[in-house]
Amino acid sequence: MEPDSLICITCPKGCSLSVSREGDTVLEAKGGCARGLEYARREIADPRRMVASTVRIAGGIHPLLPVYTSAPFPKGRIRELLAELRRIVVQAPIGVGDVVLRDALGMGVDVLASRDME
């Protein structure tokens, strides 16, 4: 079986990894450090990404409020999350770190405000 190629995003170095696997089980990851092996295991079994977006805000000095996920979100469900965020309207004032959407899509990840908005 031909090894998979991944670029590790654990650190800014961006190592190229050659990953040997059986199904979702990573057997070996060559070309990176120990953190690269752990990244390959997570990326193959359950890829996740941090998500940054905006939601509408009523009564704010701007019409949109920047938001981000409190933890990496399942990659395959990001489109669903963005659709949910398009439906949300929050009320000003709001502070940085305030929860805009708790337990997004039942995944245990909150969506937080990334700035204050008067």
Go through the domains of the chain in sequence order and give each one's CATH number.
4-46 (no CATH), 52-113 (3.10.530.10)
Q: What is the pLDDT of residues 38-88, one digit of tens each?
A: 999 999 999 999 999 999 999 999 999 999 999 999 999 999 999 999 999
Question: Across the strands, what pairs with 20?
Answer: 28
| Percentage of the chain exceeding pLDDT 70 | 98
What does the mean pLDDT of the chain come to? 94
- For strand 64-69 and strand 111-113, is the pairing parallel, antiparallel, or unpaired? antiparallel
The DSSP call for residue 24 is T
